[in-house]
Amino acid sequence: MEDRFRVGMVWSMEQRISLITLGVADVGKSRRFYEKLGWKASSASEEAVVFFQLGGMALGLYGRDALAEDAKLPPGGSGFGGITLAYNVRQRQDVDRILEEAQQAGGKLLKPAQDVFWGGYSGYFADPDGHPWEVAWNPGFALGEDGSLTLPA
Amino acid sequence: MEDRFRVGMVWSMEQRISLITLGVADVGKSRRFYEKLGWKASSASEEAVVFFQLGGMALGLYGRDALAEDAKLPPGGSGFGGITLAYNVRQRQDVDRILEEAQQAGGKLLKPAQDVFWGGYSGYFADPDGHPWEVAWNPGFALGEDGSLTLPA
């Protein structure tokens, strides 16, 4: 029998993520929302699934029931999904502009931008399926030229 | 009155994401799960919030109710949250190894690895709060040396 806790086991899950997939009610509608924000879908996209390149990872849009089925989970669910996404900006005033753009593209404002206890400024919008996005100015987390975020060392 | 659809409006939301935050029941327990997979938390982590650097973005762990409150959403929710995360591997056999490691670290197997219709091989595990992670070998999506994923051009 294999030891459950092997001595010297080399864990091999690198510290990274490849894709986030959002389960959506209407893939076309959701695609148009992100395209209205100026995003370009990958050529790998099809009618039933859409991909956006985000730095070294990707965002997928896929039918909610199909996504649950793929994970062998019951498709039912309601209320807060327990995950938020965040888009950090370079300047404080960008938070308001991005929240405005998201609403013009069909998103819903969840929380107007405000000063927050950790020293930044942030608000939230929801995409057409209610997936919550924070838009934040966080002077403690550096953003590179390419938009990559670097946590304190 | 401002035109809702401004001519020549420059959309400014770059195609990227800064953070994914998982709402969790017990931040310490969830931190230990990801640390057992070999991940190192950033020095920006505190008792109530933990951050892991993932390429040019970060994963956060934060109390589920506090996360809902931050987004001004009711904290209640049940069933499928509507989002999955994915970790792509370089070789088909790595899928089984990562799923095994995730279970040894305290995760729950949702779907054993199997051949999938899009030509790859994948399975799912759930982290301690049920957040579903796909572990996938997808020969169509290139993985770089640093683990970054590149969609077809």
pLDDT tens digits, residue range A119-151? 999 999 999 999 999 999 999 999 999 999 999
Q: What is the pLDDT of residues B76-106, one digit of tens each?
A: 999 999 999 999 999 999 999 999 999 999 9
Q: Does B1 touch chain A (CB under 8 A)?
A: no
The phi and psi torsions of A72 (rounded to 5 degrees) equal 60, 40
Q: What is the pLDDT of residues A29-47, one digit of tens each?
A: 999 999 999 999 999 999 9
Assign B8 to helix, strand or coil: coil
Do A97 and A64 fall into the same domain? Answer: no
Q: How many domains does chain A have?
A: 2
CB A84 within 8 A of CB A66: no
Residue-level pLDDT at A29: 98
Give the B window 24-83 contacts with A, CB below 8 Å: 36-40, 42-44, 51-59, 64, 67-68, 70-83
**A-chain residue closest to B147, CA distance:** A16
Q: Does A8 touch chain B (CB under 8 A)?
A: no
State the best of A32, A46, A80, A125 to mutate against chain B, taking most chain B CBs within 10 Å: A80
Residue-level pLDDT at B3: 44
Residue-level pLDDT at B153: 76
Mean pLDDT of B110-117: 97
Size of interface A-B (CB pairs under 8 A): 276
- Average pLDDT in chain B: 93
Give B53-75 as a 3 state SS string: EECCEEEEEEEHHHHHHHCCCCC
- d(CA A123, CA A115) in angstroms, rounded, equals 9
Do A101 and A136 fall into the same domain? Answer: yes
> What region does A79 belong to: left with phi over 0, alpha with psi -120 to 50, or beta?
left
Contacts with B23 from chain A: Cβ below 8 Å: 80, 82-84
Contacts with A26 from chain B: Cβ below 8 Å: none
Paired residues of A124 in beta bridges: A111, A134
Last residue of a domain, one of A73, A97, A114: A73
Last residue of a domain, one of B73, B93, B113: B73
Structure confidence at residue A4 as a pLDDT band (50, 70, 90): very low
How much is the pTM? Answer: 0.92
Last residue of a domain, one of A25, A53, A73: A73
Q: What is the ipTM of this complex?
A: 0.92
Do A62 and A93 fall into the same domain? Answer: no
Structure confidence at residue B9 as a pLDDT band (50, 70, 90): low
Structure confidence at residue A2 as a pLDDT band (50, 70, 90): very low
Structure confidence at residue A12 as a pLDDT band (50, 70, 90): confident
Q: Residue A100's domain spans which residues? A: 83-143
